[in-house]
Amino acid sequence: MDLLKMVLNAAGNQSGGLEQIANSVGIDQSAASSVLGQLVPALGRGLQRNTQSAEGLEGLIGALRKGNHQRYLDEPAALADSGAVLDGNGILGHLLGSKDASRNVAAHAASQTGVDAGIIKKMLPLVASLAMGALSKQTSGGSQLQALSGAGTSNLGPLAGLLDSNNDGQVLDDIISLGRKLF
C-alpha cells in the first residue's frame, strides 16, 4: 500500500481534507500537498515499525475500530475541531514516539518544502488524523487487519505494502513472523 497515495487521494479528490488543512494553517493547497508528501511517508514508516510487534498491531486495530477516524475523510470540516488535533497528537505519540521525533519530522519536511517548520508542526496532527482516516477507510475500520490470523494476504488489500517490513515484495513471510509473535 502507498499510504501517501491513499491520503492524497482522500484529501484532494474525495473529501476536501487538503483544503481544510491548508486553510487551517494559512498556506495554499500546493504547499500543503508538498508537505503531505514529506509527512505521510514518515507516518507510514512509524506505522510499519509499530505493527512489527504484536502489541503495536493490536493497538492499531483497536484504534482503527474505536477511533472513528474515517470522519475526517467523510466530513473534512471535522479537521477544524480541536478533537482532530488531540486525535492527531495521540496518533503521533504512537507512531513517532516522542515530541522530539515529531519535531525532527517537521524540520526535515521544512527543509524539503520551504514551508516554515512552525506551520508544519501545526499540520502534523491534522495529517496524522487524516492518515488514520484513510487507513480506517481502506481497512474497513481495522477489520481487514484482524484478518492477519487468517490465511493468505488477499484480505489485506492496500495494507500489504505496509506490512512488508523487509521490503522484499512478499508479505506472507512478514505475516507469518508477526503471527508467531501474536500466538
SS3 content of the chain, % helix, strand, coil (to 5): 80, 0, 20
Sign of CA dihedral 165, 105, 101, 60: negative
Which structural domain range is residue 79 located in? Answer: 3-182
Tell me, what's the pLDDT at 1? 44
Residue segments in the chain with a per-residue pLDDT below the cut of 70: 1-15, 139-183
Tell me, what's the pLDDT at 85? 92
| Residue where the block lists cell 472513528 | 68
Tell me, what's the pLDDT at 113? 95
Tell me, what's the pLDDT at 105? 94
Mean per-residue pLDDT of the chain: 74
Q: Which three cell numbers stand for residue 42?
A: 514518515
Neighbours of 172 (CB within 10 A): 13
Q: How many domains are contained in the chain?
A: 1
